[in-house]
Amino acid sequence: MVRDAARRLLTRTGLLDAKPDAPSKEAPPIAAQQKMGEGEQEFMQPAEGQTGDMQPGEAPTEYRHDYFDFAPEPPPETEGVERPEGEDDPTLYEPVLDALRAVHDPEIPVNIVELGLIYELVVKKGGAVYVEMTLTTPACPVAQSMPGEVENAVASVPGVRDVRVNLVWTPPWDRDRMSEEAKLELGLL
Nearest-angstrom CA–CA distance, 8 and 34: 29
At 50-79, the pLDDT tens digits run 444 445 555 544 434 444 455 555 566 667
Q: 109: which DSSP letter?
A: S
Report the predicted TM-score, pTM, of the whole model to 2 decimal places. Answer: 0.59
Q: For the chain, where are the alpha helices, taking DSSP H only? A: 2-12, 90-101, 146-155, 180-185
Torsion of the alpha carbons at 154, 158, 159 and 162, rounded to the nearest 10 = 30
Predicted confidence (pLDDT) per residue in 9-38, tens digit: 556 655 555 554 444 444 444 333 334 344
pLDDT score, position 107? 81
Residue-wise pLDDT tens digits, 133-144: 999 888 888 888
User: Distance between CA 130 and CA 82 in Å, rounded?
Assistant: 8
Q: Which residue segments constitute the domains of the chain, with CATH numbers given? A: 29-69 (no CATH), 90-185 (3.30.300.130)
- pLDDT the model gives residue 101: 96
Looking at residue 83, its amino acid is: R
Residue 161: exposure state from Cβ atoms within 10 A (0-12, 13-18, ≥19): exposed
